[in-house]
Amino acid sequence: MKITADLFEAYIKCSTKCWLLSQGEVGLGNAYADWYHAQNASYRSTEVKRLQDDVDQNKCVIGPPAPMDLAAQKWRVAVDMLAQSQSLESCIHSVERLQFEDTGKTDQFIPIYFVYSNKITQDDKLRLAFDAAILSEILGSEISFGKIIHGEHHITTKIDISTLRDKVKGQLQGVAALLSNTSPPDLILKRYCSECAFQLNCRNRALEIDDLSLLTMMTGTERKQHRSKGIFTVNQLSYTFRPRRTPKRAKSPTSKHYAALQALAIRENTVFIHGSPIFTESKTHIYLDIEGLPDRGSYYLIGALIVSSGYEKMYSFWANTESEEPAIWAEFIKNISAMTDYTIFHYGDYEKLALKKMKLLLPTILHHKIDDILNHSVNVLSLVYLHFYFPSYSNGLKNIASLLGFKWSNPGVSGLSTIIWRTCWNQSVSTGYGWTHLPTKCEPTNRFLND
Percent of the chain clearing pLDDT 90 (strictly above): 67
Q: What is the pLDDT at residue 441? A: 41
Closest to 233 in 3D by CA, of 254, 250, 218, 248: 218
Q: Which residue has the higher pLDDT, 141 or 346?
A: 346
For the chain, how many residues are written?
Answer: 451
For residues 371 and 376, give the distance between their C-alpha atoms in angstroms, rounded to a whole number: 9
Closest to 194 in 3D by CA, of 427, 389, 29: 29
Q: What is the pLDDT at residue 275? A: 83
Q: What is the pLDDT at residue 395? A: 94
Q: What is the pLDDT at residue 120? A: 95
Categorize the per-residue pLDDT at 113 as very low, low, confident or very high, splitting at 50, 70 and 90.
very high
Categorize the per-residue pLDDT at 451 as very low, low, confident or very high, splitting at 50, 70 and 90.
very low
Closest to 376 in 3D by CA, of 336, 348, 347: 336
pLDDT tens for 242-274 read 887 666 665 555 578 999 999 999 999 999 998
Task: Please return the burial class of 27, using the count of CB atoms within 10 Å of its CB with bins 0-12, 13-18 and 19+.
Answer: middle
pLDDT tens for 152-207 read 999 999 999 999 999 999 999 999 999 999 999 999 999 999 999 999 999 999 99
β-strand pairing of 388-389 with 272-273: antiparallel
HEC readout, the chain: CCEEHHHHHHHHHCHHHHHHHHCCCCCCCCHHHHHHHHHHHHHHHHHHHHHHHCCCHHHEEECCCCHHHCCCCCCCEEEEEEEECCCEEEEEEEEEEECCCCCCCCCEEEEEEEECCCCCCHHHHHHHHHHHHHHHHHHCCCCCEEEEEECCCCEEEEEEHHHCHHHHHHHHHHHHHHHHCCCCCCCCCCHHHHHCCCHHHHHHHHHHHCEHHHCCCCCHHHHHHHHHCCCCEHHHHHCCCCCCCCCCCCCCCCCCCCHHHHHHHHHHCCCEECCCCCCCCCCEEEEEEEEEECCCCEEEEEEEEEEECCEEEEEEEECCCHHHHHHHHHHHHHHHHCCCCEEEEECCCHHHHHHHHHHCCCCHHHHHHHHHHHHCEEEHHHHHHHHEECCCCCCCHHHHHHHCCCCCCCCCCCHHHHHHHHHHHHHHHHHCCCHHHCCHHHHHHHHHHCC
Mean pLDDT of 345-362: 94
pLDDT tens for 139-155 read 888 999 999 999 999 99
pLDDT tens for 41-78 read 999 999 988 888 877 666 666 665 555 456 556 778 88
Which class would CATH give 3-180? alpha beta
pLDDT tens for 284-307 read 999 999 999 999 999 999 999 999
Q: How many CA atoms lie within 13 A of 319 on its CB side?
A: 21
pLDDT tens for 206-215 read 999 999 999 9
Residue 446 has pLDDT above 90, yes or no: no
Residue 322 has pLDDT above 50, yes or no: yes
Task: Please return the burial class of 132, using the count of CB atoms within 10 Å of its CB with bins 0-12, 13-18 and 19+.
Answer: buried
pTM of the model: 0.86
For residues 415 and 360, give the distance between their C-alpha atoms in angstroms, rounded to a whole number: 25
Percent of the chain clearing pLDDT 70 (strictly above): 87
Residue 435 has pLDDT above 70, yes or no: no
Q: What is the pLDDT at residue 71? A: 59
Question: What are the domain boundaries of the chain?
Answer: 3-180, 191-242+257-273, 284-385
pLDDT tens for 398-421 read 899 989 888 888 877 888 999 999
For residue 156, give Cα distances in angstroms to 113, 119, 210: 10, 11, 46
What superfamily would CATH give domain 284-385?
Ribonuclease H-like superfamily/Ribonuclease H (3.30.420.10)
Q: What is the mean pLDDT of the chain?
A: 88
Is the CA virtual torsion 39, 41, 46, 48 positive or negative?
Answer: positive
Closest to 71 in 3D by CA, of 37, 109, 126, 120: 109
